[in-house]
Amino acid sequence: MNAMPNKTNSMLRCAGCGELFDRTISSSMPFCSEKCRGDDLDNWLTESYGLPHEGEGVPDRVQEDDEEDE
């Protein structure tokens, strides 16, 4: 048997730049580098990224539940 890890199984696509990298040598998972990791953090901190939402206020499902209680 071959004791060497299969390179194909250790390759992932970077969550930041989309490039393929070897996950066994990355210290910045799921990113290929500290640069991509830092860029991602910066996007969250500057609110370039955000969680999806609809409209303002309370979601419809919660409002419907409150109306049933009345």
- pTM for this model (two decimals): 0.58
| Nearest in space to 25 (alpha carbons), one of 15, 8, 10 | 10
Condensed to tens digits (0 to 9), the pLDDT of residues 14-59 reads 999 999 999 999 899 999 999 999 999 999 999 888 788 776 665 5
The one-letter code for the residue type at 14 is C
Phi, psi of 56 (to 5 degrees): -120, 160
- What ranges do the domains of the chain cover? 10-49
